[in-house]
Structure 1
Amino acid sequence: MRWNIFAIGKPKLDFARLGIDEYAARLKPFATVRIEYLKAATRADESRALLERSDGMLRVVLDERGDHVTSRGLAKKIDAWEQRGPRDFAVLIGGADGHTDELRQAADWTWSLSKLTLQHELALVVTLEQIYRAYTIKGGLPYHRD
């Protein structure tokens, strides 16, 4: 299982960088995580770059129009994906102007972290924490509490 996180723009907030590093490290026993930051550009160019980088992978697009799931629901979704066998997953995090319709249509799943709009660095931290939480749920570890 390999998680490829493609995000527009490098994190500038120190606490976000620390959170990203923390949860990427916590995920190592469960899955390979690679984070790649792409250059900010026009929305069309950003979406095109995200599509190119994620070609051939199961695409999870973060978007406010996406599905809301519980942490347990995410764990079940990841488990189902793993059962089907794709090895590479791509989480696509857009820039300030979001994604194009073309990118949203290319998604295997569109996921909304919240009804709130989150700054992309915070969205990255929350995404990594929720993927980590899903693996602890799947493993029966005591991190998640209902």
Structure 2
Amino acid sequence: MKLRICVIGKPKLAYAKAGVEAYLERLQRYGRLELLYLKEGPQVQEGQRLLQASEGYKRVVLDERGALPDTLAFKARLEAWEMGAEKGVAFLIGGAEGHAQAVRDQADWLLALSKLTLQHELALVVLLEQLYRVETLKRGEPYHR
């Protein structure tokens, strides 16, 4: 199953760039991840870009109002979709203003990474770390520290 991350804007903060690069490098060995940076703009246009980029995929919209699973529940949800022969899962990360309601309405799952509102660049790093953690758990590999 393919994993696609659709994110508005490229990371500008040094810590976010470094985190994204580090986790992308670790995730490369699993070969199923695609990261798409989409153009920033008005919230409605960002939403349209996110929905278009995720067409045909299960949509996981990152939003602080979403479900707060632990890592094992997150892994179980991804595995269930994989066993259901889904084409793939697209994770949608909005821009600085968050998601338009139209994007939340199209979600197959609203996912919160924390009850706190996270800056969108940090949310990308946290998501990548969790995806890496899930991949290592699925394979029984030790988590690289």
TM > 0.5: yes
8 Å CA contact retained: 2:47, 2:103? yes
Shift of 1:81: 1.0
Residue matched to 2:100: 100
Shift of 1:100: 1.4
How many angstroms apart in 2 are the aligned matches of 1:20 and 1:76?
A: 24
Residue matched to 1:78: 78
How many angstroms apart in 1 are the aligned matches of 2:134 and 2:14?
A: 25
- SS of the residue aligned with 1:138? helix
Note the alpha carbon deviations across 1:49-102, whole angstroms, 9 max, x for none.
Answer: 100111111111000111001011111111111101113221100011111111
How many angstroms apart in 2 are the aligned matches of 1:115 and 1:13?
A: 22
Judge which range, 30-39 or 11-20, deviates more: 30-39
- SS of the residue aligned with 2:61? strand
- SS of the residue aligned with 2:104? helix
Residue matched to 1:56: 56
1:19 aligns with 2:53: no
Residue matched to 2:135: 135
How many angstroms apart in 2 are the aligned matches of 1:67 and 1:15?
A: 27
How many angstroms apart in 2 are the aligned matches of 1:114 and 1:121?
A: 14
Q: 1:79 is aligned with what amino acid? A: E
Residue matched to 2:45: 45
Q: 1:85 is aligned with what amino acid? A: A
Residue matched to 1:29: 29
Aligned in 2, Cα 1:31/1:79: closer, same or farther, shift over 3 Å?
A: farther
How many corresponding residue pairs? Answer: 144
Judge which range, 10-19 or 112-121, deviates more: 10-19
Structure 2 gaps, min length 5:
none
Shift of 1:138: 1.5
Stretches of 4+ moved more than 6 A in 1? Answer: none
How many angstroms apart in 2 are the aligned matches of 1:119 and 1:125?
A: 10
8 Å CA contact retained: 1:59, 1:90? yes
Aligned in 2, Cα 1:19/1:94: closer, same or farther, shift over 3 Å?
A: same
**CA RMSD between the two structures:** 1.3
Note the alpha carbon deviations across 1:24-66, whole angstroms, 9 max, x for none.
Answer: 1211232421111111111111111100111111111000111
How many angstroms apart in 1 are the aligned matches of 2:30 and 2:87?
A: 13
Structure 1 gaps, min length 5:
none
